[in-house]
Amino acid sequence: MDRILRVMIIDDEESARKLLRVSINWESLGMEVIGEAASGIEAINVIDDLKPDIAFVDISMPFMDGIEFTQTATDRYPKLIIIIMTAIDQFEYARKCVSLPVFEYMLKPMVRAEITRVLERVRNKLADEPDYWEEQRIEGDSEPEGEEVSGTEAIKKYLEENFTDSKLNLAFAAQHFGFSPSYLSRKFKQDTGVNFVEYLTDLRMKKAMQLAESGKKMFVTASEVGIPDPNYFGRCFKKHTGMSYSEYTAK
């Protein structure tokens, strides 16, 4: 297998994400860390763009824990390799979830050599599936038969009517309209000039600005615009407005 495997790290502790990112020689394993997330909800919102092959997922996170993330992510991306990270006092809880398609459960603090051995097993597993990448490429590149998505306006209308639903993201919308996420993403960008996630976030942030101006608390606004994780919401809001939520409400 000559393709670089894409790795995502999902943990609410920034120090834990950084430690995992810098402690492993990813290049020697034929892998690269292509993104991080501080919560399951943030991960679900960006996973369509990042397209990871492997996800390290902390079991204990606010708003959407590692188990809930695994249930949601593997339903949409059944070939995603998930490695659950858990503290000793959460290990039995994690092992009770054996029905989930988790590749490995690892105890924190994790040892570099153990992580490397697990990643080598992942690579060997995928190398034994010769049709895997070709299948992914075909699935991602295939376009729906019959009528083209002249329905980009219908998709935009759907987003405008449903953006407050926290479950709404690229995969959710693609399933609703019967397309692969990669096809919908490509077609949406081609027809609108902006990518799907940017368009959806823009809708949410415009509504958030209105709610902020009415004096609503940030956690209330975050929930009402479909981003119930206030930390992720706060980063989106500051990126969109150039100000923190408290600065915006005080102006």
Q: Which among 249, 247, 174, 163 has a CA at the least distance from the CA of 200?
A: 163
**What is the 3-class SS of 172-211, one letter each residue?**
HHHHHHCCCHHHHHHHHHHHHCCCHHHHHHHHHHHHHHHH
Q: Would the CA dihedral through 224, 227, 232, 237 be positive or negative?
A: negative
What pLDDT score does 101 carry? 83
pTM of this prediction? 0.69
What integer pLDDT is reported at residue 126 of this predicted model? 85
Q: Do domains 5-138 and 152-250 have the same CATH topology?
A: no
The tens digit of pLDDT for each residue in 51-102 reads: 899 999 998 888 888 888 988 888 888 889 999 998 867 766 666 665 678 8
Domain range summary for the chain, segments of one domain joined by +: 5-138, 152-250
Read off the pLDDT of residues 97-155 as tens digits, 9 standing for 90 and up. 656 788 998 988 899 999 999 999 999 988 877 555 644 443 444 455 444 445 888 99
pLDDT digits over 152-200, tens only? 889 999 999 999 998 898 888 888 888 877 788 888 988 999 989 899 9
Which CATH code is given to the segment(s) 5-138? 3.40.50.2300
Domain over 152-250 is classified CATH 3.20.20.70: no
- Asked whether residue 244 carries a pLDDT value surpassing 70, the answer given is yes
Residue 22 burial by Cβ neighbours in a 10 Å radius (0-12, 13-18, 19+) = exposed
